[in-house]
Structure 1
Amino acid sequence: MSKIRAVVVDDSALVRSLLTEIINRQPDMQCVGAAADPYAAREMIRNLNPDVITLDVEMPRMDGIDFLSKLMRLRPMPVVMVSTLTERGAEVTLRALELGAVDFVAKPKIGIADGLQQLAQEITEKIRVAAKAQVRKLPSPATPAGPASDTRPPAPAGVGRLSTEKIIFIGASTGGTEATRELLTALPADAPAVVITQHMPAGFTRSYAARLNSLCRIVVKEAQDGERVLPGHAYIAPGGQHLSIERSGANYIARVQLGEPVNRHMPSVEVLFKSAARVVGPNAIGVMLTGMGADGAKAMREMRDAGAYCVAQDEASCVVFGMPREAIAAGAVHEVLPLSRIAPHLIEHLRSTAGLSLNRV
């Protein structure tokens, strides 16, 4: 079996050396080049044809975002961003994911040598996932891209107050930040409450929620422990904490807690979906989006067994088909749909079930 060929792009000689050594320690991968800036990287990519590149954000001559934008338009390939864990780093990393980067590693601000060694398993696992990911060519924008652009589809008709008891539960990992964005921007302002576990580290989810809130008709925020879960709102699990749903009288509330990782993740989709099955039952709608691994698959089956309606993203539209595939294999899913069809299908489903409810009155 051929090794995964990686090129490291970072202006720090120390980081280039460390990442090269971490990659070359793996029996299934090889660092075939290390570039100090995007211009050198461009030549290496042309001459060495790597499977994956790791890309720093802040570099001389051309920053990582500009380079990524050009790369994904001219020669799309799997990219893992290596970004400093700062507020600006979070915002820039989210922009990189929007442009087509497969994933990112939060580089430590201090103690870089020890920090990167501690991240070695995460770095190499993300390179492995990226090597198998489906990447797409970034279209040339007709208008300037960025958070200020209104990328929402035309407003769908509302679903009405009969959806107030419903809650949509979303689980996602690799590729999920953009998949979730596409789904949420297609929901009407009166959509049911949406609760989301996206595998992200602490420090990134607040910026992610703010970015989505600027794009969506519904209100999007990072979940807070004990707050009511309301229609027309989406709640994102804070990085590094589990999110679940509890009942308090007539209300649903968010429970945000520290704990042990579940399926190696915190937040974990399994934790969220188990609470959906236990607390919300037939009023829950489950959505499994792109991601590596099996987190949430068993709990989604519990949701279905409790009467929930469950949908998975299809392979063709996934960056990584792992989590949807496992949910399908577990018998948890009613429908498998391309990403672009999920939001319209959920709206149709809500309207049809609302009609059934009216017929029973």
Structure 2
Amino acid sequence: MARLSFLFLGFLVFLGCSSVKTVSFKTPIDTQSKPIEYQIKKTFELEDLGIYASNEFDGARLNGFEKLNDSTAKAIIAPENEPINHSAYYAFKVWSDTSKPFYIRFQYPEEHKHRYIPKLYRNNSWSILDSTNVYRNDNTVTVKIELNSKPLTISAQELKTYNDTKAWVNNLISGKDYVTLKSYGTSILGRDLPVLDIGIGDPKGKDVVVLLTRQHPPEVTGFYAYQYFLETILDDSQLSKDFLSQYHVLAFPILNPDGVDLGHWRHNAGGVDTNRDWSQYNQPEVKQTVEFITKFLKKNRARIVLGLDFHSTYKDVFYTNNIRKTTALPNFIEDWFVALEENIPDYKVNEAAGNSTKPVSKGWFLYGHNAVGITYEIGDATPKERIKTIGKVTAKEMMKILTKANNN
């Protein structure tokens, strides 16, 4: 495995942080860059079986593919580095010279378990592998699939690469003169970092809402909620027009593009969880995000009132801070959650409240800007239609509450 250390780069980034205010947290975390292990990009061949597997595409994660017997192979999956969150991610293509059923056993490093139900992509369509074809035995998971000569993608979550994100953004903002797409910097590996600068009229003095996502590469369901949320803000309804006339939105659609395309479990190309770097900004992706926001606020004499960071976890949940009464929107969380339960069918808000002790974004919004900060999590297996409903309603009710607050 090729190794690359970004320790020196991390030092340079630290030196460049003097232009922005750092934020203190109770539990500091070392976010200096650490070595990562790159996958060897190749097509693995089981010649005697006529079966092949490949990781030669963006978002792939496959570290080895070996025969166990005539009907079974093991897919070796390893993270970019350790220690790391126990969220083993995988994505690879597999095919066969002849049509046949075949079994694949997932092999992870010790202490890591299978998390994601396999998603299958073939014939331009995604599906979920039927649970009857998933076999669990102690700590091992084996899946049964049908192979033929056309490659089948097997992935922990549906693939949404950096290029997919750019295409979605460009389509979303087409014809909308109140949205400006900007590049505010580059990732460690040189990918542009995009931001949507959104507002009707002069931004000076307007309160700001910040929307973040894709800090953690596999968390695609959270990205889907982000898409529906942002699409609703930009739907040109009267509510949208009123909201964007009174508030300004800064939307960051992919904070960790390197990690996404490298098929990382959790980290960026610096081997760091970017959602633990919202204190000293050692990683360039977070540093440049903070610099852009800081510059925008200073230029426009504005303040952040709300920050939402979209993620995925085992179930739908909103992680909130307990400190509220002294923030810019002291009643927002309670009002928002009541509105969600009233407007989403059969929905009960799952809130986990606790002031951030580690340097995560929701704590940065609170301690750095006296703003409401929320980590907006969607479950790994939440159905797409349900995500759509939640994403749209959460955006509508946010706009209603903020617009009403501004008019009082």
> TM-score, normalising length from structure 2?
0.34
As a proportion of its length, which structure holds more strand?
Answer: 2
Report which of the two structures shows the higher radius of gyration computed on alpha carbons: 2
Higher RCO structure, 1 or 2 (CA under 8 Å, sep 6+): 2
As a proportion of its length, which structure holds more helix?
Answer: 1
> TM-score, normalising length from structure 1?
0.37
